């Protein structure tokens, strides 16, 4: 620009037309700028081809920087496309249905498996609320109540034979990731196992009744039996009774696993139920323990009376069986602002901490000999766990070896009624 001004001044001075040459130089300069601006505007508007090359003065620098930015942009775009391609291939290869949802449940994105398993169609269903497309009540309640800690199982809306297990994970900014797996095989296996246990227990009942009948007949003619035969007879009776208890407990467990949940509207008068259970426990203890009952008289629970009786009795009877003579057993039924509690504490043998997480497994015993000797089946706490699950309750176990144990069932206040 300085060179142009000097040249214009020189030519103007020589020809005596300084103003004219200055005007000419300024106009030329402006036109050159306008040309560059025009090239730039055209390139920006069409967005095609490489940025304008060459140029003079500041424009060569502008064009050069643009060129660099563009190359950088292309490289990034290529990398992003590769990532996107890889992500698409990965999600397409994934056997699990994957859906990205907004917190309101609107579908943002889903993979091919989600199309197959949940019946979502692309792009038609993007933006739709998932509960309008997957309408199973279990799934709808799960999303509405945001119970994301555990998975939810429901049949596929496309194929009723397919059982899906879905998990939702909140992530990023108000987004949810839904992953659904096909668990049909696992489900069938679980059903086969349940049916097998139920059938075996059921089949064992008849021969067991026959055996017990004959044993009773023999008992009637005890006067004809020798001392040795009588001892054998008692042993056989004891074992037959034990087997009967195992079969009964297994059948009860099968029923708890397969039955519909207990009716919520049935009111169970827990205090009077506990009166009966503690009376039975006192009979079993035969004066060897102090058994105290402390129950809130107006506090009732809604649920299945028979199964609750079974669960509570198992806990109280366990306390008697695992507490040495002279011990104290305390049975409590009360509520606070958070929950209602059924609690059994004893001053018994206690349980080492590493056993506690496994106590509710079937046939898990800390001391097999003691369990058998006191008439245990190893199924009592498994029954307790199932009954509590069916009442949306859970079991808490605190114990110290040699000092005693506290078994507490936590019931939601929603299931309690006050009279």
Q: Which residues bind ligand ADP (CB under 6 A)?
A: 314, 318-319, 322, 346, 348-349, 351, 359, 364-367, 371, 376-382, 405
Hunting for tokens 């039975």 — which residue is that?
Answer: 280
CB of 339 to ligand ADP, least distance (A): 21
Comparing CB distances to ligand ADP, the nearer of 168 and 317 is 317
Structural tokens at position 70: 């563009």
Gap between the Cα atoms of 66 and 79, Å rounded? 20
Residue 228 CB, shortest distance to ligand ADP, in Å, is: 30
In the complex, minimum distance from the CB of residue 158 to ligand ADP, in angstroms, rounded to a whole number = 42
Considering only CA atoms, which of 240, 258, 253 is closest in space to residue 362? 253
Shortest distance (Å) from residue 310 CB to ligand ADP = 11
Calpha distance 381→383 (Å, rounded): 5
Shortest CB 255 distance to ligand ADP, Å? 17
For residue 123, whether the previous peptide bond is cis, meaning omega lies within 30 degrees of 0, is: yes
Q: How far is the CB of 309 from ligand ADP (least distance, A)?
A: 15
Determine the Cα angle at 326 with ends 242 and 344, to 5°: 65
Q: Give the count of beta carbons closer than 10 Å to the beta carbon of residue 342.
A: 26
Q: Return the number of the residue (310 or 318) whose C-beta is nearest ligand ADP.
A: 318
Residue among 41 and 361 whose Cβ is closer to ligand ADP: 361
Name residue, tokens 């059994």.
344
| Structural contact between residues 284 and 276, judged by C-beta atoms closer than 8 angstroms | no
CB closer to ligand ADP, 133 vs 356: 356
The tokens describing 319, both together, are 């306390």
Min dist. Cβ of residue 256 to ligand ADP (A):
14
Residue found by looking up tokens 């009732």 in the block? 300
- Tell me whether residue 148 or residue 364 sits nearer to ligand ADP (CB atom): 364
The residue (of 97 and 351) whose beta carbon lies closer to ligand ADP is 351
Q: Measure the CA angle with vertex 221, ends 216 and 224; round to 5°.
A: 140
Kindly give, in sequence order, each residue whose CB lies less than 8 Å from that of residue 91, ignoring residues fewer than 6 positions away.
Answer: 98, 111, 112
Shortest distance, position 366 Cβ to ligand ADP, whole Å: 3
Smallest gap from residue 351 Cβ to ligand ADP (A): 5
Type and span of the H or E element at 177: strand 175-182
Distance, C-alpha 247 to centroid of its chain: 32
Burial degree of 304 (CB within 10 A; 0-12, 13-18, 19+): buried
The alpha carbon torsion through 106, 98, 110, 142 (nearest 10 deg) reads -20
Whether the CA torsion 165, 169, 170, 176 is positive or negative: it is: negative
* H runs (alpha helix) in 47-111: 58-93
Query: Which residue, 176 or 351, is less far from ligand ADP as judged by CB?
Result: 351
Question: Where is 272: in which H helix or E strand?
Answer: helix 270-285
C-alpha to C-alpha distance for 153 and 142, rounded to whole angstroms: 10
Q: Which is nearer to ligand ADP, 168 or 383 (CB)?
A: 383
Q: CB nearer to ligand ADP: give 297 or 324.
A: 324
For ligand ADP, which is the closer residue by CB, 29 or 364? 364
Q: Tokens for 183, please give them.
A: 């668990």
Closest distance between ligand ADP and the C-beta of residue 268, in Å? 22
């Amino acid at each position: 620009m300085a060179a142009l001004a000097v040249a214009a001044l020189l030519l103007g001075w020589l020809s005596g037309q300084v103003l004219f040459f200055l005007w000419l130089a300024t106009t030329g300069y402006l036109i050159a700028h306008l040309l560059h601006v025009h090239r730039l505007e055209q390139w920006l508007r069409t967005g095609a081809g490489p940025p304008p090359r060459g140029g003079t003065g500041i424009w060569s620098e502008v064009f050069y920087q643009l060129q660099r930015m563009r190359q950088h942009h292309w490289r990034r775009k290529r990398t992003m496309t590769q990532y996107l391609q890889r992500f698409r291939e990965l999600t397409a290869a994934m056997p699990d249905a994957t859906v990205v949802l907004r917190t309101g449940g609107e579908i943002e994105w889903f993979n091919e498996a989600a199309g197959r398993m949940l019946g979502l169609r692309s792009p038609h269903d993007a933006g739709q609320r998932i509960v309008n497309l997957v309408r199973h009540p279990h799934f709808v309640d799960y999303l509405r109540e945001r119970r994301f800690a555990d998975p939810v199982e429901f049949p596929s809306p496309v194929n009723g034979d397919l059982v899906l297990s879905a998990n939702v994970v909140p992530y990023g900014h108000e987004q949810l990731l839904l992953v659904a797996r096909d668990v049909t095989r696992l489900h069938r296996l679980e059903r086969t196992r349940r049916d097998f246990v139920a059938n075996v227990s059921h089949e064992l009942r008849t021969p067991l009744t026959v055996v017990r009948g004959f044993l009773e007949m023999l008992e009637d003619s005890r006067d004809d039996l020798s001392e040795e035969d009588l001892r054998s007879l008692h042993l056989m009776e004891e074992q037959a009774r034990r087997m009967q208890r195992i079969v009964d407990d297994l059948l009860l467990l099968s029923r708890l696993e397969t039955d519909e949940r207990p009716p919520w509207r049935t009111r169970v008068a827990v205090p009077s139920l506990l009166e009966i259970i503690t009376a039975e426990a006192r009979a079993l203890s035969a004066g060897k323990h102090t058994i105290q009952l402390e129950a809130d008289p107006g506090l009732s629970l809604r649920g299945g009376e028979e199964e609750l009786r079974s669960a509570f009795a198992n806990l109280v009877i366990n306390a008697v069986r695992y507490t040495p003579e002279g011990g104290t057993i305390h049975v409590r039924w009360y509520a606070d602002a958070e929950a209602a509690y059924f609690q059994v504490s004893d001053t018994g043998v206690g349980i080492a901490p590493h056993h506690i997480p496994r106590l509710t497994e079937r046939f898990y015993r800390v001391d097999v000999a003691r369990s058998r000797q006191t008439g245990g089946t190893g199924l009592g706490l498994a029954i307790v766990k199932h009954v509590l699950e069916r009442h949306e309750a859970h079991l808490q176990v605190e114990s110290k070896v040699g000092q005693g144990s506290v078994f507490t069932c936590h019931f939601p206040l929603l299931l309690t009624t006050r009279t």
